[in-house]
Structure 1
Amino acid sequence: MVLLFTFIFLFDSLAWADLHTHTFVLESTNVTRLCNTYNIITVNGQLPGPTLHVRNGDTLHVTVYNRAKHNATIHWHGVRQIRTGWADGPGYIRQCPIQPGEEFTYTFTIIGQEVTLWWHAHVSWLRATVHGAMVILPKDGSSYPFTQPYAEIPIVLGEWWNSDPVEVEEEAKLSGGLPNVSDAFTINGQPGDLYNCLSSGTDFSFDSGKTYLLRIVNAADNNHLFLKIASHNLTVVAVDASYTKPYRTDILILSSGQTTDVLLIANQAQAKYYMAAKEYTTIPEGNFDNTTTTVILSYVGSNASATPICPELPIYNDTATVTTFTRSLRSLASEEHPVNVPQSISDSSIITVGLGLRPCEIGGNCSGPNNTRLAASMNNVSFVLPDIAILQAYYFGINGIFTTDFPSNPPVVYNYTGDVPKTLWAPISGRKVKVIDYNATVQVVFQGTNIFQADDHPMHIHGYDFYIVGDGFGNYDNEKDPGSFNLVDPPQRNTVRVPVNGWAAIRFKADNPGAWFVHCHFDDHVTWGLDTVFIVKNGPGALESLIPPPPDLPKC
C-alpha cells in the first residue's frame, strides 16, 4: 500500500513535468587557491558544484554517492518540498546522514517556484565547499514577467578557508569559542585578483547594449555580503525564487542563504569593470574577514590590458544602506503572480534569537569570555541535535527524541535589545519543537537580543516561503508595530535577515505537512544551537499528508 501510494504520487507529478536525473559524487578533490593546493570535499570535482537547470513543474531525481570522509546530506535550499519532506536534507532533522561509502536518491518536484534557488550540504560546515546554483525556468510556453535577457549568468558567492572547514567547526566546538574567520571570499569559487595571490577564475564578457540576468546566490557560511559592479546599476526582479517589483539600485545586500536576481544592461563605455563583494557585519572591526572578492566584467572590444574600474563599496557596518535595500523590495503582486498574505492569524509567536554564554565544564578550558562557552538560542532554548532524525521520530511515533513544548513567547520578558542582566545570558539545552495545525495562518516575530553580543541573523524556514510583513529596530511592540505592517505587497522569501538589535515579522499559511528546520543560516550560530523545528500536522485529505519515506532513506 505504501509503495502504491508513493507510485501514484510520483506518477501524478511526472505526468505533467519533465524528469531530470543527476548523479552527485561527494569526493576529495585537490584545488589550488591563494597560491597553495588544498584537499577539499566537492561534488563531481567542482567548486561550486554543478548548476542544475529545470523548469517550474519539473521533477528531479538526484542520487548522491558519498565518497568523502564525512557524513553528508544535500539540502535543496528554498524548494518547498510539498509533501516530500524526506528529500529536504538537513541532517538529524529530515534524515540521518549519508555515511561514507553509502548513497541516497533525492526525489522532489519544483512547484510554483521560478528563477533561482540553490543546493548545499547540510551536515556540519560541509556546505563551505559543497554547494551550487539551481536555475528554474518558467513552464513551457511561459516567459519572465520582465525584459527577456540576452544571456543568464549564475553568480555564486562563497567563503574560503585555508584549512578544512569541518575541522574549523570542530575546533570551535571543543574550545567553546569563536571559529577562525575565513581567509577569502569567492565569486564562482575564485577569490579574485585583489588578494595577494591572483586567481585564475573566468571573467565575464559582455556585449554593449545587451541585457543580462545575473542569478546571484550567497552561499557563504557565516556572512552577509554587499555586492556592487563598478559604474553600473542593477534592477532587482526576484528574490528567493519569488518575483518582485523592479527595483533599481547600484548596491545589493544578500544574507547567507538568500538569492537575488537582477538585470544588468551593458550600457557603459567599452572597458573592464570589477564586480566586487565584501562582508556586511555589525561585529567590531578586526573580528571578521575584511577582504574583497572580485571578478572582471569585460566589454567586447575593450583593451585587453586595461585596468579594471573598481566600485566603491559601503563601509563594513553600513546598516543604513542595508536597511534601505531591504525595505525597498516588494512582491510583484500581479494577476499572474498574486500575493496571498494571511490577513488574520490563528497561530502567533514571538521568538527571541541571539547569542549567549554558558559556564565552562568543570575542569575545562574554554576560550569564551571569562572561561565560558559560546551558546545560541531561540526563546532561551539552545537546540541539541538528536541521534535519530526528528521527522523519522515524528512519523513513526518514536518517543523520547523531542518534546512539543517549544515556547511561543519568551519565557522571561525583558529589555531584549538593552542592557541584558547576566542572569539571562545562559540558555537551557533542549530539543523542543513547535507543533502547528495544518492550514493555520502563522505569524512569527523574530526578536533579536543583546545578550553577550548583538548580531543580525538570517533566519531560514525549510519547506516554506513566507511574507516579510515588517521589521524594525529595538523591541517589538505588539500593540503598535502591526499597524505599520505591509499586507499588500510584502516581499516573499525563505530567509529573512533579523536586524541587529531589532525584529522582523513574517506570515505564512501552514499548508505543507512535515517537520521543518527553523534556524539561523550562519553555520556557527547553528553549531551553538540557534535552531528549532516546526512540525506541521497532516491535513484531513490524502493529498494533504506527508508521503511515506523512500525505501533507501539512510539509517543512523
Structure 2
Amino acid sequence: MKAWIFHVIGVLVLLCGVLPSHAAVRRYKFELRNTPYTRLCANKTMLTINGQFPGPTIYARKGDLVIVNVHNLADHNITIHWHGVKQPRYPWSDGPEYITQCPIRPGTNFTQRIVLSDEEGTLWWHAHSEWSRATVLGALVILPQKRDDYPFPKPQAEVPIILGEWWKSDVQQVMEEFLRNGGDPNVSDALLINGQPGDLYPCSRQDTFKVTVEYGKTYLFRMVNSMMNNIMFFKIANHNVTVVGSDASYTKPINTDYITISPGQTIDFLLEANQNPSRYYMAARVYASAGSFDNTTTTGIIEYAGNYTPPSSLVLPTFPDFNDTAASIAFTNQLRSLASRRYPVNVPTNITDILFFAISLGTVPCPILDQCAGPAGNRFRASVNNVSLVLPRTSVLQAYYKNISGVYENDFPDDPPFPYNYTRDAVFGLDWAIENGTDVNVLDYNSTVELVFQGTSILGGVDHPMHLHGYSFYVVGSGLGNFNKTRDPLNYNLVDPPLMETIAVPKNGWTAIRFRADNPGVWFMHCHFERHISWGMGMTFIVKNGRGQNAKMLPPPPDMPKC
C-alpha cells in the first residue's frame, strides 16, 4: 500500500477521534468550471461549482464529517471556505488563500475535510480567493442529530434563500480594475435571490424565484447573505416572520416585519402562511451607511396554493431608508441565545486577553501624484490597528507548522499604536499611520479573549461586518461612539448574548465579543465587505497547542495544494 494511503487513513483516524460516536461521513464532489451564462441580459463565462449558480447545497447533521473533493477544471486558482465551521484542530481545510492554504491550481484537486462540531442550523460555503466567491458559493445546512428535534415546532418545509449580487462584466475584471485605479469598485448590475434578480429587472421575469405555500402552515427559511459588499434589508409583503437562528446557533424567537443581515451572516426564520391566499413579494434591498451602492430591489414571490384570482401586480414591501442605521442596529440588538438547559450559554468571564482593534478605511498616496481614483487622488487602504494586510506567497499555516521564517511577524498589536478620538466628526490626517504587513497575534491555548472592535470616522466611517474563522463568539455589547473601557462593560450581556461568527460593527461605533481560544491553529479574521478585505482589512490569530494530545493541531493531509 502506498505511503500516502497510510497517511490518509491516519488523518481519518485522528479526525474520528474528535468526532462524536453518532457522526456520519458525507461525501461530495465539487468541480470548478468555466460555465457559459446567458441570463440577466448578459452573455459571459463565469466560475461555478458543478455548473450551478448558486452552487449545490450541502446537507449534514450536527457532528458529522463532510468530505468534499474539489477538482479545479477551470482556468483560475481557487480555494473553498466553509463559513462558520470551527474545524476543531484541523485548520488545513478552512480555505482562506495564503492564510491556511495555497490555492488549488487549474488541473489539480484537493480533498477537504469539514469537521462539524456544535454547529446546528444554517451556514454556507464560498470561494476564499480574490473575488471568486461572487459566483462560487452555496448553502451548508446542518440538521439536528437524528434523535433531536428543532427547539420550535417542525415546519412544513425548509427553503434555502441566498441573497447575492451580479455584474454583467467579469467579476475578476471588476476586482482588477479597482485595485489598479485605487478607487471604489463598480457597483453590481443586479441584486439576487437564489441567483435570480426578480421581475423588476429586464430579462429576468420568467426566472423569478417562487415559493409555494399552503394556508395555515409554517415554513423554515434558511437565509444566507452572500453579497460581496452590502448589508441587506429583507421583507415579505403583508407578513411578519419569526427569527429562530443565526450563524448556526438558535436564538430566542423574534417576531419582526423586517430582517437586517450582513454579508457572511445567516438568519433562520419561520414564515406562517396566514394571509389571504394570493401572491406576495419577498424582497431585499441594500442598507448602506456610506458610499455608492446598487439601489435596486431584488424580488421573489410567495405564492399560496389554491384557487384564486392572482393580482395583476404585486405590492412591494416598505423598507427602512437605505441609510437607516438605527433600523439596522435595532434588529441586530434583538438577537439573543436560547440559554436553555439543552442549549446552554458559556460566556467567558475571567478574561486573560483584552484586545482592542480599531478597524478603519483610509488612503495612501498614489504612486503617480493625484492620478488614483480614491479621495483627493489617493488610493484606498483599510487596516486593523493601523496594519493593512499583505498576503504572503506561502501560507501562514504552512509557515507556522513547518517553522518557516520570513513569512509573517508575530507582533500584531493588541491595541492601536496611535490612540485618538476614533469617532469624532470627520477624522482626517491619520493616513500616515497605515503600514503594510503580514502580522499575526499569538494566543495561548485555552486563553479567554475579549475583543472590542472600534469603528472609526476616517473618511466618514462605515459599518464593518467582521468574521472570525475557527470560532463562534458571544456578542456581549455594542454601542455608538468611542468604547469606554470603564463604563461600557458594566452593560455587557453575559446572560444570553447571541453566539455568532459574523457581526456588523455599526458605523462609528463599537462591538465587544468574547471567546475561549480552545481551537489550536491558524485562523483568519477580516471584514466581509470584499472591497475592504481587498484593501487590507484583515489579520490572523495563531492559537498555540495545548498540553494534552486532544489540545494539539492535527497533521496536514498529503494533498495540500502547493504554492
TM bucket normalised to smaller: over 0.9
Residue aligning to 1:351: 357
Residue aligning to 1:41: 47
CA contact (8 A) 2:208 2:301 kept: no
Residue aligning to 1:434: 441
Of 221, 224, 235, the match for 1:228? 235
Counterparts of residues 275-286 of structure 1 (less than 5 Å): 275-284=282-291
Residue aligning to 2:535: 528
Give the AA of the match of 2:48.
T
Residue aligning to 1:384: 390
Q: How far 1:313 moved relative to its partner?
A: 1.3
Q: How far 1:148 moved relative to its partner?
A: 0.8
Counterparts of residues 265-414 of structure 1 (less than 5 Å): 265-284=272-291, 287-301=292-306, 302-304=308-310, 306-362=312-368, 365-414=371-420
CA contact (8 A) 2:193 2:209 kept: no
Q: How far 1:288 moved relative to its partner?
A: 1.0
Residue aligning to 2:495: 488
Q: Distance in 2 between matches of 1:432 and 1:198?
A: 46
Residue aligning to 2:13: 8
Which stretch has the larger CA shift, 328-337 or 200-209? 200-209
Residue aligning to 2:221: 214
Q: Distance in 2 between matches of 1:281 and 1:364?
A: 28
Q: Distance in 1 between matches of 2:245 and 2:21?
A: 29
Give the AA of the match of 2:534.
T
Q: How far 1:11 moved relative to its partner?
A: 3.6
CA contact (8 A) 1:96 1:555 kept: yes
Distance 1:303 1:28, change over 3 A: farther
Residue aligning to 1:454: 461
Q: How far 1:453 moved relative to its partner?
A: 3.2
Q: Distance in 1 between matches of 2:497 and 2:441?
A: 25
Of 198, 205, 217, the match for 2:204? 198
Residue aligning to 2:171: 165
Residue aligning to 2:187: 181
Q: Distance in 2 between matches of 1:30 and 1:7?
A: 37
Q: How far 1:68 moved relative to its partner?
A: 1.6
Q: Distance in 1 between matches of 2:198 and 2:208?
A: 7
Q: Distance in 2 between matches of 1:485 and 1:308?
A: 44
Give the AA of the match of 2:252.
K
SS at structure 2 position matched to 1:370 = helix
Which stretch has the larger CA shift, 25-34 or 391-400? 25-34
Q: How far 1:5 moved relative to its partner?
A: 4.9
Give the AA of the match of 1:360.
C
Gaps of 5+ in 2: 1-5
Counterparts of residues 116-195 of structure 1 (less than 5 Å): 116-195=122-201
TM-score, with length taken from structure 2: 0.96
Which stretch has the larger CA shift, 451-460 or 15-24? 15-24
Q: In the TM superposition, what whole-angstrom CA distance separates every residue of 1:3-32 from its partner, at most 9, and x where no partner exists?
A: 675242134338531111111011011223
Q: In the TM superposition, what whole-angstrom CA distance separates every residue of 1:25-68 from its partner, at most 9, and x where no partner exists?
A: 11011223322322111101111000011100111110111112
Q: In the TM superposition, what whole-angstrom CA distance separates every residue of 1:388-422 from its partner, at most 9, and x where no partner exists?
A: 00011011100011111111011111110114241
Q: How far 1:505 moved relative to its partner?
A: 0.3
Residue aligning to 2:3: none
Give the AA of the match of 1:420.
V
CA contact (8 A) 2:427 2:460 kept: no
Distance 1:364 1:123, change over 3 A: farther
- Asked if 1:112 corresponds to 2:118, the answer is yes
Q: Distance in 1 between matches of 2:232 and 2:316?
A: 17
Of 63, 85, 95, the match for 1:89? 95
Q: Distance in 1 between matches of 2:191 and 2:12?
A: 44
Q: Distance in 2 between matches of 1:442 and 1:475?
A: 20
Q: How far 1:363 moved relative to its partner?
A: 6.4
Q: Distance in 2 between matches of 1:42 and 1:177?
A: 28
Q: Distance in 2 between matches of 1:262 and 1:30?
A: 34
Give the AA of the match of 2:298.
T
- Asked if 1:59 corresponds to 2:65, the answer is yes
CA contact (8 A) 2:369 2:377 kept: no
SS at structure 2 position matched to 1:111 = coil
Distance 1:45 1:7, change over 3 A: closer
Q: Distance in 2 between matches of 1:11 and 1:460?
A: 28
- Asked if 1:516 corresponds to 2:523, the answer is yes
Q: Distance in 1 between matches of 2:479 and 2:348?
A: 20
CA contact (8 A) 2:364 2:431 kept: no
- Asked if 1:19 corresponds to 2:21, the answer is no
CA contact (8 A) 2:279 2:311 kept: no
Q: Distance in 2 between matches of 1:471 and 1:168?
A: 34
CA contact (8 A) 1:438 1:511 kept: yes
Identity %: 53
Q: How far 1:330 moved relative to its partner?
A: 0.5
Q: In the TM superposition, what whole-angstrom CA distance separates every residue of 1:456-511 from its partner, at most 9, and x where no partner exists?
A: 00000000000000000000010110000000000110001000000000000001
Q: Distance in 2 between matches of 1:305 and 1:369?
A: 48
Q: Distance in 2 between matches of 1:257 and 1:127?
A: 11
Q: Distance in 2 between matches of 1:316 and 1:531?
A: 27
Give the AA of the match of 2:92.
W
Q: How far 1:343 moved relative to its partner?
A: 1.1
- Asked if 1:472 corresponds to 2:472, the answer is no
Q: Distance in 1 between matches of 2:349 and 2:113?
A: 34
Give the AA of the match of 1:347.
D
Q: Distance in 2 between matches of 1:251 and 1:474?
A: 26
Which stretch has the larger CA shift, 252-261 or 108-117? 108-117
Q: In the TM superposition, what whole-angstrom CA distance separates every residue of 1:499-550 from its partner, at most 9, and x where no partner exists?
A: 0000000000001001100000011000000000011011111111110000
Give the AA of the match of 1:290.
N
Give the AA of the match of 1:233.
N
CA contact (8 A) 1:150 1:210 kept: yes
Distance 1:421 1:316, change over 3 A: closer
- Asked if 1:548 corresponds to 2:555, the answer is yes
Which stretch has the larger CA shift, 416-425 or 160-169? 416-425
SS at structure 1 position matched to 2:234 = strand
- What's the Cα RMSD here? 1.4
CA contact (8 A) 2:198 2:209 kept: no
Gaps of 5+ in 1: none
